[in-house]
Chains A and B, each alone.
Chain A
Amino acid sequence: MTPQPIVDARAIHKHFGALHVLKGVDLKVAERELVFVIGPSGSGKSTLLRCLNRLEEPSSGSIVVDGIDMLDPRTDINHARQRIGMVFQSFNLYPHMTALGNVTLALRKVAGKSRAEADALGHAALERVGLADRAEHTPGQLSGGQQQRVAIARSIALEPRVMLFDEPTSALDPELVGSVLAVMRSLRESGMTMIVVSHEMGFARNAADRVVFMDDGLIVEQGPPAAIFETPAHERTRAFIGQIQRH
């Protein structure tokens, strides 16, 4: 691991009213690393991800991404978020715009590109996810897998330093999962730093550098995929791995 992690989250706590969802989580991610976060539902993994770009406001702790203190009130959060791509379970494409419109909105409004520049970058991003020929389609005309790839293009067009994936394939029909995972794999090969919350254990096994197991708002253990999947140290990890592998 490089001495200067690109994501450095420390002692993150998050309360939703009386509910204590994150109970002091530390997560460091090195540049070009792919970290896979697994755990039972309600363990806080999505909340942790959403705290990293401050879609969720942590109750306490510190988060530094690419040298920017995300929780400092003086930080321009809109500027900082351009460097942190996020892909959602439900795609969240803008239904009133074409695929290209979805990809170019932030380029024009946030990155300040002209329409021509934004269109060129947008086409390039769609090309990277294999959807160059779908630029003028609206989300309603695309399959779930294609929508999620457009959502990935929307993020990578801004050239983020880190990508967050929040259960990117959970809402997809099984036969469409492969196309999204293929795009994620090619992103990884291009050196993108990625934090992935997902149940795709096969993908975790052969693409992740590190697997983090969370339960009840805490990181229980972490390590290389082989170690976590074959020889987990904790009983809770063992139970979880056993459960998902039975399916």
Chain B
Amino acid sequence: MTTWERFLDTFFNGKVMLKYLPDILSGMVVTIELALLIVFSGLAAGLALALIRSLAIRPLNWLIIFIVDLFRSLPPLVIIVLMYFGLPYAEVSPSGFVSTWLSLALVLMAFSEEIFWAGITSVHKGQWEASRSTGLSFGQTLMNVVLPQALRLTIPPLTNRTIAITKGTALGTVVAVTEILGEASSAVSNSYNPSPLMMGAAAYLVLFLPVVVLARRLEKRFAWKR
């Protein structure tokens, strides 16, 4: 056996790969479910908080800023572990799946709130004034004039952050979520061969490369001439 053949046999072992392919595929399904839940609930909650913040109600804004800063500073793994192992003491026992979903959704909510808020505040004051001077209300101006402009500005940072946090689904392994990395690492220990890890890496590429490409398209499409 040459060195090259030994390398292939170790990292890309056909027999091992074939055996564990179904496990990796089912891991992909779990990752996709988790990712979609995190993206939709996290972004929706972040946008809702940013809209509430634009109402400029002082005590409410302090609360929002505190929550956002808290979840931006804590490592996602810590939040997942606290939720999974800590909440049962409060008579709530979320599954590993639910703990991972809620934890990462809260983190995405926190980061996206900041991004949405930055987008809203970066829209020129004159836009508010022009709209209000024609009789549109605060809410109508926010929804029709300010938000459409703010969202376009936020697409690049938002896609970056969303992808980064969604990849955090791999952290679910520590609370026994059978997503891609979880399936891959148990396959590695069962087969004494790292090939399933390579399949896991390929699975992440298959999932996230199209998202990155799609994000770039969105950015181009929503850019407009000033």
A109 to chain B: which residues have CB within 8 Å? 136, 140, 144
- Whether, in the assembled complex, A158 has its beta carbon less than 8 Å from a beta carbon of chain B, the answer is yes
A78 to chain B: which residues have CB within 8 Å? 132, 135-137
Task: Mark B132-153 against chain A: 1 for CB-CB distance below 8 A, else 0.
Answer: 1111110010001100110010
When chains A and B are docked, how far (Å) is the Cα of A90 from the Cα of B124? 11
Question: Which A residue's beta carbon lies closest to that of B140?
Answer: A109
When chains A and B are docked, how far (Å) is the Cα of A106 from the Cα of B130? 10
Once the chains bind, are A82 and B134 in contact (CB under 8 Å)? yes
When chains A and B are docked, how far (Å) is the Cα of A86 from the Cα of B136? 13
Partner of B134, one of A90, A95, A138, A158: A158
When chains A and B are docked, how far (Å) is the Cα of A82 from the Cα of B132? 9
Given A94-B127, A140-B224, A141-B225, verify A86-B133 contact (CB < 8 Å).
yes
- Whether, in the assembled complex, B219 has its beta carbon less than 8 Å from a beta carbon of chain A, the answer is no
- Whether, in the assembled complex, A116 has its beta carbon less than 8 Å from a beta carbon of chain B, the answer is no
Given A90-B126, A93-B130, verify A140-B135 contact (CB < 8 Å).
no
- Whether, in the assembled complex, B33 has its beta carbon less than 8 Å from a beta carbon of chain A, the answer is no
Task: Mark A43-81 against chain B: 1 for CB-CB distance below 8 A, else 0.
Answer: 000000000010100000000000000000000001111
Q: Chain B: interface secondary structure?
A: helix
B134 to chain A: which residues have CB within 8 Å? 81-82, 85, 105-106, 110, 154-155, 158
Question: Which A residue's beta carbon lies closest to that of B225?
Answer: A140
Known: A92-B124, A94-B127. 16 other contacts (CB 8 A): A55-B133, A78-B137, A79-B135, A86-B129, A94-B145, A95-B224, A96-B149, A96-B152, A96-B224, A106-B131, A106-B134, A109-B140, A109-B144, A111-B135, A141-B225, A155-B133
Given A92-B127, A109-B140, verify A84-B225 contact (CB < 8 Å).
no
| Size class of the contact patch on chain B | 20 to 34
Once the chains bind, are B152 and A92 in contact (CB under 8 Å)? no
Given A92-B127, A92-B130, verify A110-B136 contact (CB < 8 Å).
yes
Among A81, A92, A139, chain B packs the most CB atoms within 10 A around the CB of A92
Task: Mark B198-226 against chain A: 1 for CB-CB distance below 8 A, else 0.
Answer: 00000000000000000000000000111
- Could you jot down 11 A-B contacts, CB within 8 Å? A53-B133, A79-B135, A86-B129, A88-B130, A92-B126, A93-B130, A95-B224, A105-B131, A105-B145, A110-B135, A140-B226
Task: Mark A95-132 against chain B: 1 for CB-CB distance below 8 A, else 0.
Answer: 11000000001100111000000000000000000000
When chains A and B are docked, how far (Å) is the Cα of A92 from the Cα of B130? 6
When chains A and B are docked, how far (Å) is the Cα of A82 from the Cα of B152? 29
Partner of A96, one of B124, B129, B130, B148: B148
Partner of B130, one of A84, A151, A158: A151
Shortest CB-to-CB span from A111 to chain B, Å, is: 8
Once the chains bind, are A55 and B149 in contact (CB under 8 Å)? no
Once the chains bind, are A105 and B136 in contact (CB under 8 Å)? yes
Shortest CB-to-CB span from A185 to chain B, Å, is: 22
When chains A and B are docked, how far (Å) is the Cα of A29 from the Cα of B131? 25
